[in-house]
Amino acid sequence: MTKRKTTPELARSLDADWPPREPMTLADLIAEARAVDWDFAQWCYVSGHDANDSDARNMFECLLAYASSEGRAGLH
């Protein structure tokens, strides 16, 4: 007989793969940022990064600088 999962066990199993840990390319990250009009808070929400994390802020700023230098930022 299979042991039934309790509520806490079930909750952990549902969140086990969230946010998804699929490899992302630089182009994917830039596309996400461009899709939210280069808004840091929205980018964090979409990409699963913590808005209070200084590393996430640095990464976002680097993405913006890279996309701007490549002419792909899509800024108005």
pLDDT in tens, 50-73: 999 999 999 889 888 888 887 765
In a domain, residue 19? The reply is no
Q: Cα–Cα distance between 14 and 16 in angstroms, integer?
A: 6
Domain assignment present for 17: no
In a domain, 38, yes or no: yes
Instruction: Please give the residue that has the higher pLDDT: either 22 or 67.
Output: 67
Token digits of residue 35: 């899709």
Within-domain flag for 32: yes
Alpha-carbon torsion angle 47, 68, 70, 44, nearest 10: 0
CA gap 42, 32 in Å, rounded: 10
Domain that holds residue 52: 24-76
Instruction: Please check whether residue 33 lies inside any domain of the structure.
Output: yes
Q: What is the pLDDT of residue 76?
A: 45
How many domains are contained in the chain? Answer: 1
Is 58 within the bounds of a domain? yes
Q: What is the mean pLDDT of residues 39-45?
A: 88
53 within domain boundaries: yes
